[in-house]
Structure 1
């Protein structure tokens, strides 16, 4: 037996074969009909569409044979792919290349073989369309021509199948891009709405206050009062802008969440210190209940944003009370808990917090203004972490807000 040699362009041929993504795929009716027709035309009990990879011949379609594949070293087709014309063995018992081949000595008892290479658009022979008989034989010119035509039909089917797959993938890409564009358009529309709804008023108020300052018609007491008012409005407008930019960035940025490892105690301490001045002015005590060394894995900037917004809200609605930040953990979840002893909310008020199109805000204990945007963004961040934003509140007794996030979501490694 002569073992088939390796084609000179084997690496390129195999790469071309794999590009069709056809190996080990289910049978297809059109190809089954071609092998049936090949057997009928050539009067053979067996007909195959055989594809040769690096170690085997695998049958995409077969008639008269139970095996799905055979070893490449025994494959007649592995010899046939070395040429571009019909490869025919009239009597395998009289051919020194095949007389002692296991497929000749045993089942399927090959005596006659004729195979036409399946040549791809790139010029590589992927396999053959072959017919096999158990008695010595030969083919007429008409049979050879018919087999060659059928082989071309097999390659045409392969090419159409490949093009359809590429088209399907391209359409999926287009659909994804359309979804992303639609999402971005909705984000931009909402962004413009927020700017018009939430920023226009504060900016106009600031312009009026500045006009009063430059009018030089105010007393010192009036200037001091306006200065305090101006400072408060600047702080609330600054917070709104920060929230708006954070939300817009999270919506328009397609990157995955960053995977940072950090001590939550330090982030909580940093953000509590940030509101210390306004908390003291309102008689509120601040308590960091997150234990030192409470390392979590999350996007540091998002967690900073979440804690800042939740404690700012707590301070807004609390006077002569207490505000705390804590961490609760289970096997699957991490929960950042911000609690206060402030004025609390009714269940109806809680339900109304998350209406993007009809956001209603309540003035704080000192008349502080807000946009209601921060809490909506925090809830969106919770959903990105496969978690929830849970609010428990009772009028006159305070509020507890839980930012819940799953521990097993996919995140991009931090570049810090």
Structure 2
């Protein structure tokens, strides 16, 4: 059997292309719609021109062949498997089957072997402007036939007309949908404008109000009709009416204006609105201002109250600051005078005190002339003078730390530690104490040597003074670890330790770590003050009967 216009080896469309074709078909909103006379007239005309009893307009869906218009056959749709038109849409060309009973593609088709016993078929694909083949305009006969060239041309023209009518209806439907969407959108917009919590209104370039939303009218105590046509100055407070012209003139240079406006209601109540307005020109070339505003009256009144409170507070703070400055100046003067007194008194008292200690030393050498039954007043005087000497030395050290500036230089820590330990040899029990050191210096340690000496001398003095009599050998161990950033010193002893309750106050002035302490309580206080001067830190760990551990960190002033 000869096939007129389509090769038997034509390939099937890809799945992706088929999806696009089906989407194109759906865009015409034609599937499962009622018959239309204008399309039925075209199928009648096709049957008449081609001299065939049957003419159909078919559309190929995903799993069926749906018939939009029919002439000579009472059927609405068929399954896709028995469709002739599914072969028609594989090409842009007309498909003509002269005798289906001898065509291997259709010879076993139920519509050929059974009712209605189709033998002749000729179909022209319905092609969209985008090139998608949706179905066909076809004619059918129950006997072998063949169309002449004029009939084929007429069928092709009629198929184009079918497609043109479908395209027109599609555009009409899309227009209807678009109008519906616009109407719905306009209604949503209107509902939004009317029910929004903010105020929406428009005015022209002269300040005449063109429209207002219900919320704004109700808030101001007007109706919408009463406000439309009035000038903006109607709702502005007297204080800002004079700035209305300047506001309108802004729109000669810019499209957007924002700020705060002071409003007065119909009931003479003042409000504050925060607005952001912009100039708009519609399709009719009419220019007006679209305005949106929010009521910030409560916030503005609160801001004004806060500003007033702030100004009052600033005045109070300024007054108190002035009083504190005056008080501080008096205290600073008093402190300076006190420091000067301590410094001078320490120096003035040290001379006579040293002379007195010398005389007492001579007296103690002659003590063997005193009867054993008489009180040892010389020893008591020596202890009292020695304690006073310690106090004066502490006060002088504290004064020097306060007044003298820092002097950074590299420090030989091993030498400093040994020298300051030996400087404590007059302390009772010194000869029993063993000193060990461990020094790791990745970088030379730069700091104020005199103040470093004060720290070690004070801590050594404490460890020696509070050595334990219950251990075999009292010991002090010092470790030093210096880097380019800092030096860490750990001074550990096995002395009597410090009670848990006394540790928090151990660095306070005149604080004593043990009830039996005979010192003035200045040593650790001075250590703390010296470390403040060096930007250092100190921590203490101690347990009664076990010993004490001090850890000190001091920044390395390495250049």
Normalising by the smaller structure, the TM-score range is 0.3 to 0.5
TM-score (norm 2): 0.35
- Normalised by the length of structure 1, the TM-score is 0.46
Q: Which has the larger radius of gyration?
A: 2
Q: Which structure has more RCO (C-alpha within 8 Å, separation ≥ 6)?
A: 1
